[in-house]
Structure 1
Amino acid sequence: MAELALRLAGIEKPAFYQFHPVRGFSHRPGSKGLWNQEGHGWVSINKAGFRDSNHAALPPKGVLRVAVLGDSFSEAFQVNQNQTWWTQLQKHVNNNPDCTLISNYPKGVEVFNFGVGAYGTGQQLLTWRTDVRQSKPKLVLLAVFLGNDINDNTPAARNDRPVFYLDQNGELQINNDFRQSPASIFRNSLPGRSLNWFVEHSRLAQLLNEAKNRSANPTESNARSYQNGPPKVAPASPSGWALTEALIKQLNTEVTANRAKLVVVSLSSPEQVWPRRNQRPSQLFAKEKRLAALLQPLEISYMALAPAMQQQADQKGLILHGFGKAQGIGHWNINGHQLAATVLAQQICTDKQLIK
């Protein structure tokens, strides 16, 4: 009766994530529903297990295929798919007749999204290996959120994902002990797989699963707004920077071997585009400068969006992060996605070195 009542009322809380033996967790292929934990976005996961439409296995002739690797800013559950920065980027590029990026591609650009929430650069490297390279992109955009990505890359024991680290010789290594964690063992057991099936097919099971997740991961109070000042950002660890460099270097090697080009794109953090300028901390773009210095000797193209986004947001009076009463905090809202797409399209369309 409860199941029938939930279905008649149209209430569902789809589980968008599942266990993944290589990446720790991934999106659940075919899941769809409304995301309302922050913002309100209709989410649909494609058959490959990513927040995007379905695409052909190989790029059509005359099309430049671009793959996006990223975290929750690229997953972008907070807005509808047509409002995401990567969907709008495709439209901006294809509608620009002077864009040098597609000068040799008469059918324009096709952007694939492979962003998954909470992924660090290590899981993005693994996503490249398991899914992205098979789609044969010519350009790979690594969307870096400097607000937490460096710390996410800091080696630490985790029971939900693989952990990369540097050995005594400075070589990149991976620890897959998460596969032996109690949670992983349960998910692969008959009871765990049965529970997974119920969550996929039962509205009641979805509601109970949602309650469990909210209890384990309480969200920040919406009572806070930009009037209280920007959130404090933890300093990035030296080991996180060292591992980030090694991971990007390895990703670049593999992307180049696949006859594609890697471009690192850093996004904006809330404090960088904070609505009240006098409340912004000093040295807002120190991490961008350090990342640029790290990438230069590797000869990896780098595009920092935050400086241009800050300038345009100030000129137009835009709030780019946050929803409702939590203005300025959290992920990009519609304004943030729109401006990011505009700024990035301008940068990649005028960079003659991207596609030679």
Structure 2
Amino acid sequence: MNFGVNGYGTDQELLTLREKVWNYSPDLVLLNFYTGNDVINNSRTLTQKMVRMTAMDDSALMKPYFVNKDGDWVINNSFVNMDIYRPQQSWWHQTYLKLQDNLRILQVLKQVKYAFALPHQENERQLLESTQQSKQDPQLVSKPAKLSPLTDPEWQNVWKRSEWLVYNTAADPEWQEAWQLTEGLIRLIHNEAIAKKVNFAVVTVTTALQVNPDPNVRHEQEISGQTDWFYPEKRITALGEREGFSTINLGQSFQSYAEENNVCLHGFKNAFACDGHWNALGHELAGKIVSKTLCQQGLIKNS
């Protein structure tokens, strides 16, 4: 059963585990850990910095956070006092959400709002134009938009100061605190699985930059002596070894496969190549690796 929710951090996944998952008495809890932004999402400090440097509004902070007080993990629900949160609890806003779930026009307007808020909106316009041109001229079908978020200097400047710092081995205090918080949350999930006598494993999900088939794309973003494209996997693996749970790291397998076969495991034909979410090939490869590893480790029965 899939309990994943778009945009959830490890903290919200822990709450979902407590409030929903245990009701179904699972045999295995498989935590998907997205190295791209899960560490940021678990830290109010890093999320605030992300909000300031992008077009995001304060709604990104509208969630519970865990804090460690004298060794005890306590939920910080201060977001309920945010000015942006209180109106959303009104009857008219709840009615609007129900209408939005059922009316396509409202969903389209929401997408338009966010599209025009993003720094690379001009590149999306270029992509749309190139797609329309390709319908008229078959020779332009494979012609990409001028820039993708991975190669757009404006977005690169954002990523270098936010998400890509997850690959930085330098001891930045805010990131170290976020990592310690994240590891503590995973430890809590594992301990609850132990108490329920349920198997537990973590899958580290890849980012587009990490597994781009062209290594030069990564090399251009490296900071000498500080960048390690598998640093998140190494931290999660070390945590698993200390705590006694299995980790399935997809990064190296995905990177090798992408480079050897010169294929994109992220991205789609109607969007930027090698960027964004997994495509069909990425999902297929992940499914094979995860299922094979789970069977080999005896976490599920091989039928």
What's the TM-score, normalizing by structure 1?
Answer: 0.61
Q: Which residue of 2 aligns with 1:115?
A: 4
Structure 1 residue 188: Cα displacement: 2.0
Q: Which residue of 2 aligns with 1:341?
A: 287
1:175 aligns to 2:76 (yes or no): yes
Paired residues of 1:320 and 1:335 also in contact (CA < 8 A): yes
Structure 1 residue 337: Cα displacement: 0.7
Change (3 A) 1:203 1:328: closer
The 5 A counterparts of 1:182-197 are 182-197=83-98
Question: 2-side partners of 1:319 and 1:239: how far apart?
Answer: 33
Aligned AA for 1:162?
A: P
Q: Which residue of 2 aligns with 1:235?
A: 165
Structure 1 residue 279: Cα displacement: 3.1
Paired residues of 2:248 and 2:293 also in contact (CA < 8 A): yes
1:315 aligns to 2:260 (yes or no): yes
1:303 aligns to 2:248 (yes or no): yes
CA-to-aligned-CA distance 1:3-26 (integer Å, 9 cap, x gap) = xxxxxxxxxxxxxxxxxxxxxxxx
Question: 2-side partners of 1:189 and 1:116: how far apart?
Answer: 23
Q: Which residue of 2 aligns with 1:144?
A: 33
Paired residues of 1:164 and 1:174 also in contact (CA < 8 A): yes
Change (3 A) 1:153 1:318: same
Question: 1-side partners of 2:94 and 2:232: how far apart?
Answer: 42
Count of residues paired in the alignment: 243
Change (3 A) 1:312 1:196: closer
Question: 2-side partners of 1:260 and 1:217: how far apart?
Answer: 42
Aligned AA for 1:263?
A: A
Question: 2-side partners of 1:173 and 1:217: how far apart?
Answer: 34
Change (3 A) 1:336 1:115: same
Change (3 A) 1:344 1:197: closer
Paired residues of 1:226 and 1:329 also in contact (CA < 8 A): yes
- More deviation, 122-131/324-333: 324-333
Question: 1-side partners of 2:215 and 2:103: how far apart?
Answer: 48
Return 5+ residue gaps in structure 2 as ranges: 49-59, 125-144, 167-174, 220-226
Q: Which residue of 1 aligns with 2:195?
A: 257
The 5 A counterparts of 1:216-227 are 216=117, 221-222=123-124, 223=145, 224-225=147-148
Change (3 A) 1:207 1:271: closer
Q: Which residue of 2 aligns with 1:284?
A: 229
Identity %: 32
Change (3 A) 1:218 1:191: farther
Structure 1 residue 315: Cα displacement: 2.6
Question: 2-side partners of 1:338 and 1:196: how far apart?
Answer: 34
Paired residues of 1:273 and 1:320 also in contact (CA < 8 A): yes
Question: Matched residue of 2:20: which SS?
Answer: helix
CA-to-aligned-CA distance 1:154-199 (integer Å, 9 cap, x gap) = 23366421111222x2321111122232333222212222323332
Question: 1-side partners of 2:61 and 2:214: how far apart?
Answer: 39
Question: 1-side partners of 2:108 and 2:25: how far apart?
Answer: 39
1:327 aligns to 2:273 (yes or no): yes
Aligned AA for 1:185?
A: R
Change (3 A) 1:177 1:215: farther
Structure 1 residue 253: Cα displacement: 1.3
Structure 1 residue 354: Cα displacement: 6.2
Aligned AA for 2:20?
A: D
Paired residues of 1:255 and 1:261 also in contact (CA < 8 A): yes
Q: Which residue of 2 aligns with 1:163?
A: 65
Paired residues of 2:150 and 2:209 also in contact (CA < 8 A): no
Q: Which structure has greater helix proportion?
A: 2
Quote the RMSD (CA, aligned, Å): 2.6
Question: 2-side partners of 1:161 and 1:200: how far apart?
Answer: 21
Return 5+ residue gaps in structure 1 as ranges: 1-111
Structure 1 residue 283: Cα displacement: 2.6
Change (3 A) 1:352 1:311: same
Structure 1 residue 336: Cα displacement: 0.9
Question: Matched residue of 1:165: which SS?
Answer: strand
Question: 2-side partners of 1:120 and 1:317: how far apart?
Answer: 32
Change (3 A) 1:275 1:179: same
CA-to-aligned-CA distance 1:21-78 (integer Å, 9 cap, x gap) = xxxxxxxxxxxxxxxxxxxxxxxxxxxxxxxxxxxxxxxxxxxxxxxxxxxxxxxxxx
Question: 2-side partners of 1:250 and 1:331: how far apart?
Answer: 28
Aligned AA for 2:63?
A: R
